[in-house]
Every structure is written in structure tokens, then in C-alpha cells.
Amino acid sequence: MASLQSSFTVLATTPTPRNSSLSKPSLLPTTNARRSHRFRVSCSSNGGGGVDRRNMLLGLGGLYGASNLISGRKANADPILPPDLSQCDPTGATTTSGGQTVSLDVDCCPPYTDIQSDYKLPSFTTPRVRPAANRGTLKPEYIAKYQLAIQSVKRMRDLDVTDPDDPRGFTQQANIHCAYCNGPYDQPDHPGLDLQVHNSWLFFPFHRWYLYFFERILGSLIDDPTFAIPYWNWDNPRGMFMPEMFTFPGTPAYDANRDPSHIPTGTNPVVTLNVGSTVTDPVQIISNNLTQMYNEMIGTPASATDFMGQPYRDGDAPHGFSGGGTSEQGSHTAIHVWVGDPNNEYNEDMGNFYSAGRDPLFYCHHANVDRMWTLWKDIPADYSKEITDPDFLKSAFMFYDKNKNLVRVTVADALDYKRMGYEYEPSNTPWMNYRPQQRLVPANLESLSKTAQTVAKLFPLTLNNTVKVIVPKPATGKADETLVIENIVTDNTKLVKFGVFINDEDDKPEEVDRAEYAGSFTQLPHRVKAKQSTGNLRLNLKELYENINIADDKSVVVTIVPIINGSAVTIGSVKIVPRVA
């Protein structure tokens, strides 16, 4: 029985600016003043010669760069501004392969119009109710609902053929995700600095808006304003397999680019939320999943940003894996990996951000991700669930609405989903009661320590084998502390995973539903310039100490278990510090 305190994962994405020297100088006038003077280049004005335009942007950046004498972010931070669609780079979509940034041969830029407006949430009388996708018995009313969903996706796909420039078309909708994640958009006024909606506090609000417009468009294409996207209830054992309605070849909701072993008739049809797990016993998989859910929703986050993701502001370089919240990096990413086809070069479709939106299952998955945000909000906790930072609230995005109008939306307007006119059909959340079972008898630290080494002796090290290390605690026994695994250097081209346990006498690393499990580090191969990344893994220990019923000890024994490619990881050191709020 165990507990995944945190799982940190990253999808193929855009974590660093292409050229950080191009970022905005600290002392330039505010963005709004300059925005109106920017010259505009339409996506097609240079005959698709996107390279020219990129060069031009680089030229601009060079000018900025010349005056950029002050390094770091400017003191007066700003929200992330909506991208300037006229500056979308049709050749800008990239991913990582073999340690190199490679161009993807895909133009993710939306059609451009300079008629734009602020979006106003329309009034409504009946909320759209998103139903659970996986349910035991299928009542006729639900069969009808799902058929409607499939019908609407068909309408959307038809637009790809009849009018590829219609922003409501399926491919155009899928490309939105690529444009916001794989490099085509720069941050306005920061040429060369990618706009990235993952690995930060923008993750939930961006995807809420994305689904909102997708749903409204589907509804309008079938003339049913009550239409709602089903949610893939993968947090419930009943939902821990691919929803059937998506799995019939030749139907609109089907996508051939999925892991063949994970379809309902495949060899491993049970969802695993633990990337890289080799457990095959369905009971253990489900128990591990429920523990992971408990931990990422309740056990691990000790602040709103722990759950939502770290601050990300105008001029910031996109964060790497560690900027994402517990839910994004945990179950969210795990489902992407689980669905994408590992036989495809870039794990298309779900396993890479540029292609994820091409799988209709993406929207069903993200409806549940969004539902997790709503559930977390309502779970009582001893910290505030609100982020009131104006840079968060004023961050904004651009979407096409159901009438093909280009509209600007803010994070502030996405915080209350009920105002947006939809709700979730309630379904069971057994993970809420899945806190790992508390140990009655504390571990015997003295005998555990005999097999462990000191920090000074052991680190730095390459994680070729499981290691056990004695780590001093700032306070004795049960305290509000954080384990920090420092200077983790990984090869960016490799899938890497290791698990972390505290005072573990049983040594069963595949069973994460146990009190001793502190969390894991997962890195998917991803796009960055450098061959290696350096980062820290922080795991809050307060609840774990309760679970393992720690005695009044002055130290713990930390076990670090390489799960995938340990030889591609070096760790600088390990320490325990008082938790910083």
C-alpha cells in the first residue's frame, strides 16, 4: 500500500527560449504602448516564406538585444499577453529528437484576421452537463448523447475538407494546441521567446478555455446549444480503460495513432497513471492509480501553486517539468503517454503536444483534467485555493468562437466554470479516501541505517543502482518538511524515471500504494536546446511522516530507486529542509 506524493513529468514541448538573448529588455516601455506600433505581417503575405519572417523577427530581436544590458526579468512583472496571430510562425513547430531540436513539417498557425474583440460570456438558462464517458450500463439516453458527440466531431472533420481555413475545422482546432505549445507563437514583444501554456499556472485556465470553445463549436455545428463533451473518468476504477466510443475504426472519434496494447482489446487495457510502471496485476495497477490520485489532489499540494503550477509571467522563459502542478505532471501527463503510440517517431498523437489535439480522445481526457480542478477547489484544505496574483488573473489567450470571431479571453473569466455554462455529471471519486494506510509501528531507524550510507559519502552519483542514504532532519519526528533532491542532471533525449521512498523496510518499488512512497521523478524525452537538463525534485513530507508514523528521529533513510534509464541520471545531493510556504 503506498503513495505517490508527486510525479513530475514533461511532454515533448518548448521549455526554453530559442534564443534567450532575444528576450525583452527590462527598461523598454510597457508592452501595450508598443503593441499598437508593431508592424503586422500576415501568415500568407510572404507566400508561405515563414523563414523570411522568422529572420525578420530575429532582426527585431537583435535590436532589442542590443539594448538589453540588464539581465533577468524586469522588476514590474506583467501577465502573459495573448499571442499576436499575425506573427505566428508557420515553420516554427518543433520537437526534440536525438538531443536536437527538429522542425516538424506542420503549419500550426490559425487563419489570421485583425478583427478582434474581448469575449463576453453569454448568458444561459440550462447548463451543459458533461457526462462520464465510462459507465457500467449504457442507458439509451447516454447512447444517444454519445452518438451526438460523434456526429458533431464528424461535422467538424467535414470542415477540414470543405473549408480548411475555417477555424472551426477539426485540424484547425487541433493546431491551436500545437501553436501554444510547440513554438509557433512567441510571447508578444519578446521575439524568439516561446509562448508555452504548460508547466505553469496557465495550464488549467488555458485548457478550460480551449475546451470551452471546442465544445461550443461542436454544439453549434449540430445546432444543439446543450451539447457537452463527455469526460474520461480515469480517476475511477470503472473508467480506467479507453472509452469505447472512441475505439471503432472508421468512425469520427477514432484515431489510429494510439498505443495498440492499450485499446480495450489490447494486451494491457488498464490505465496506468504511473509512467513506466511494469506492474501487470490489474488490482495493483488500480491501487497504485488511486493512491497517485489521492496524493496529487490531496496529500502532496500544500499551496495553490503546488496544485496549479508555478507563476509564469511576461518575459519569463517557459518553465521545464518542475513548473507544472501535481495534477498536470501526474495523471494528466500519464494519460497522454499512455494513449500515444510509442511506435511513432514522436509518440503521436497524444504523446506529443503538437499532435495531441488530433486525437478526439484529447478533449475527453482534458474534460476530466478540468473536472479535477473543480474537485480540488471543493476539497477542504488548510491553504487557500485561490491565486489572486494579478499577473495570473490578467493573463490572456486568443481563440476563435463558434461564430468564427477572433476573441480574447482572460484567466480571470475562466475561474468560475459555472459561469461558463457547464457542469459535470457527478461520479464516484474513490481516491478521496485512498490515503495510504498508516503504519502502526514506526520503522526501526537503527537497523535501516545499517544498510545506508551518509550523504557526503554517496553524492554526487549516477543512479545505476538503488541507493539508500541517511538524511538528517531539521526537526525531530513529525514536522512540516520537504525533501529536496538537488541537481538532478538528465539526458533530455531519454525517458527517465526514479522513485523515492522514506524509511522503507519492504523495498517493493512497484507498489506505490504504501505509506513509505514519497514520489517520483519522470522525464519524457523533450525538446530543449541543450543535451542535458538540471533540476530539483521537491517532495513535501508532512503527511508522509504521519503515514509512516515516524518516531522522534533526527534523520530518515531515503531510498532512491532507478526505474527507467537510471544511468542517464546523476544526482548532486539530497537534503531535508523546513517546508517553505
Q: What is the chain's Cα-based Rg?
A: 24
Reply yes or no on whether 207 is catalytic: yes
514 binds ligand C2O (CB under 6 A): no
Nearer to ligand C2O, 181 or 420 (CB): 181
Nearer to ligand C2O, 495 or 557 (CB): 495
Reply yes or no on whether 459 is catalytic: no
Cα 322 to chain centroid, rounded: 10
208 binds ligand C2O (CB under 6 A): no
Reply yes or no on whether 526 is catalytic: no
Q: Residue 512 class from Cβ within 10 Å (0-12 exposed, 13-18 middle, 19+ buried)?
A: buried
Reply yes or no on whether 198 is catalytic: yes
Nearer to ligand C2O, 1 or 356 (CB): 356
Q: Sketch the per residue contact string, 340 through 369, with ligand C2O: x for CB under 6 A, - otherwise.
A: -------------x--x---------x---
For ligand C2O, the binding residue among 18, 24, 128, 198 (CB under 6 A) is: 198
For ligand C2O, the binding residue among 128, 190, 208, 332 (CB under 6 A) is: 332
Nearer to ligand C2O, 339 or 393 (CB): 339
Shortest distance in whole angstroms from residue 13 CB to ligand C2O: 9
**Catalytic residue (choose from 170, 177, 203, 501):** 177
**Catalytic residue (choose from 262, 365, 366, 526):** 366
Nearer to ligand C2O, 180 or 517 (CB): 180
Q: Element (H or E) spanning 52, and its range? A: helix 50-66
519: Cβ contacts below 8 Å, ≥ 6 apart? 4, 5, 6, 7, 8, 295, 300, 499, 500, 537, 539
Strand blocks (E) in 59-99? 94-97
Shortest distance in whole angstroms from residue 245 CB to ligand C2O: 20
Q: Sketch the per residue contact string, 166 through 195, with ligand C2O: x for CB under 6 A, - otherwise.
A: -----------x---x--------------
List residues bridging with 461 in a β-sheet: 571
For ligand C2O, the binding residue among 145, 155, 319, 336 (CB under 6 A) is: 336
| Per-residue b or e along 197-220, where b marks 16 or more CB atoms closer than 10 Å to that residue's CB | bbbbbbbbbbbbbbbbbbbbbbbb
Shortest distance in whole angstroms from residue 350 CB to ligand C2O: 8
List residues bridging with 457 in a β-sheet: none
Nearer to ligand C2O, 356 or 568 (CB): 356
List residues bridging with 575 in a β-sheet: 484
Contact 149, 229 (CB under 8 A): yes
Q: What angle do CA 258, 102, 175 make, to 5 degrees?
A: 55
Please report, for residues 257, 389, 411, the alpha-carbon distance to residue 164 in angstroms, rounded to integers and kept in the order given: 22, 39, 29
Contact 495, 347 (CB under 8 A): no
371 binds ligand C2O (CB under 6 A): no
**Catalytic residue (choose from 190, 198, 262, 319):** 198
Reply yes or no on whether 365 is catalytic: no
Shortest distance in whole angstroms from residue 39 CB to ligand C2O: 31
Nearer to ligand C2O, 10 or 396 (CB): 10
DSSP per-residue letters across 292-361: HHHIIIIIS--SHHHHHB----TTPPPP-GGGB-HHIIIIIHHHHHHHS-TTSTT-TTTTBHHHHTTSTH
Contact 522, 272 (CB under 8 A): no
Shortest distance in whole angstroms from residue 367 CB to ligand C2O: 11
What cell was used for 287?
491501487
**Catalytic residue (choose from 262, 332, 365, 526):** 332
Shortest distance in whole angstroms from residue 242 CB to ligand C2O: 16
Judged by the rule CB under 6 A, the positions of this chain that interact with ligand C2O are: 177, 181, 198, 207, 332, 336, 353, 356, 366
Catalytic residues: 177, 198, 207, 332, 336, 353, 366
